[in-house]
Amino acid sequence: MPQNNPLAFRMRPRSIEEVVGQQHLVGEGKIIFRMVKAMQLSSMILYGPPGIGKTSIASAIAGSTKYAFRKLNAATDSKKDLQAVVEEAKFSGGIVLLLDEIHRLDKTKQDFLLPHLESGLITLIGATTENPFINTSPAIRSRAQIFQLEPLDEADIKTGLERALTDSDRGLGGFPVDIDDNAIDHFAHAAFGDLRSALNALELSVKSTDENADGRIHITLDIAEESMQMKSFSHDADGDMHYDVISAFQKSIRGSDVDAALLYAARLIEAGELTILCRRLLVIAYEDVGLANPQATERTVAAVQAANQLGLPEARIPLANAIIDLALSPKSNSAIEGIDAALADVRAGKSGIIPKHLKDAHYKGAEKLGHGNEYKFPHAYPNHWVAQQYLPDTLVGRRYYEAGVTGNYERALAENRRKREGK
């Protein structure tokens, strides 16, 4: 293999046994291992963040099965490229096709490919960083199994690095390398689960470091840090990770874990996602804290206004105040549950007929229709309240709002309601 190819490319596994990590899929007895062993491949979609082995698994499958293996990109390669792969498959009896960015496969290419998937001429391995249940065509999804890959842990990264250091054919085994333990630890840690990033940083450090007096290439922690730098923060505003972080952020505040909430907020801030962070905080304030602490919702609105005026990086300060406030506040979702219950009745056609005494009476002839005739004006009665029917006849007694008991304010609302109902 040409040595001018990146190390990560050269070290791709040649068999299923060489795959680093993803043992829940390729470990002995697991689903992809079983497919390969039985030579019963089916089309699949591999879903996960960059650099964790989607292409590696595809090449390992091809290597273990001895099938021809081709790689195309759904976005940049043309229908003509697909046609060439199909023709080759007809000649060879079958091909494993890795189709990167499969979520970007357009309908023309899809329609061309589908019959060949059906016939088994092409075994498709789609790769994507985006959730295929959301972003991949249903026609493709229905013809493929979906497997989620996990970020590699540090032990997996170290395994991949050590293999590269000892492989004289494809790796760096031909170089006289001495690497400090803390240096290899840094490569594994700073890669954040991305083996490709770690391997390419390792190669840079080895090839850019001069031999010492003993003729050895000594890789220290300083060299590792310089070569690796800090991997760019992984966050795609349009990708699956974006929505996962937002989800984790709201759930952490809802669960009153202030530290987790600050961590996920920091990820959004680091990604420059000020607008979505502010919007989500407003939603959380009213949805999850709500009437348990109305003052906290007011403070959140003020914090969001301040953050938008300040911009980043200073916006992090009022936002942190709001996040801590909301996370440690008592929680109540009684308001959203109440409105959603009412909406459910309306959407089910149970809204009923408005009682006549509540109907608009501000026009000539309303009295003859009985509209507003028996309406009692609450402000004309003691304590500005009088008993009268407001719900439609078909919904009398229906309760949409059930007060929470976590906050003093909402407990006061509940007590006021009990007094009005004479309970």
pLDDT digits (tens, 9 = 90+) for 35-85: 888 888 888 888 887 778 888 888 888 777 777 788 888 888 888 898 998
Q: Does residue 346 fall inside a structural domain? A: no
Domain stops at, among 228, 257, 286 = 228
Could you report the per-residue pLDDT of 90-115, keeping only the tens digit for each? 887 788 888 888 888 888 888 888 88
Which range marks the domain in which residue 205 is found? 154-228
pLDDT for 232: 44
How many distinct structural domains can be found in the chain? 4
Which of 95, 118, 148 represents a domain boundary (last residue)? 148
Helices (DSSP H) in 120-167: which residue ranges?
132-135, 138-141, 154-166
31 and 128 part of one domain: yes
Q: Same structural domain for residues 319 and 409?
A: no
Low-confidence ranges of the chain (pLDDT < 70): 1-3, 230-242, 423
**Do 366 and 270 belong to one domain?**
no
Indicate if 244 and 362 belong to the same structural domain. no
Asked if residue 72 belongs to a domain, the reply is: yes
Residue 345 lies in a domain: no
Centroid of chain to Cα 6: 29
CATH of the domain at 320: 1.20.272.10
- Same domain? 116 vs 158: no
The Cα–Cα gap between 101 and 161 comes to 27
Domain CATH number, residue 396: 1.10.3710.10
Q: Which of 85, 116, 148 is the last residue of a domain?
A: 148
The CATH number of the domain holding residue 187 is: 1.10.8.60
Q: Do residue 36 and residue 127 come from a single domain? A: yes
What mean pLDDT, rounded, does the chain reach?
Answer: 86
The reply to whether 195 and 114 lie within a common domain is no
Check residue 240 and give its pLDDT. 53
Q: Are residues 222 and 249 in the same domain?
A: no
Cis peptide before 294 (omega within 30 of 0): no
At 332, is the secondary structure helix, strand, or coil? coil
Residue with tokens 């979520």: 103
> Residue 361: what pLDDT?
82
pTM, 2 dp: 0.59
Sign of CA dihedral 11, 16, 17, 20: positive
Q: Is residue 203 part of a domain?
A: yes
**Residue 139 burial by Cβ neighbours in a 10 Å radius (0-12, 13-18, 19+):** middle
pLDDT of residue 230: 52
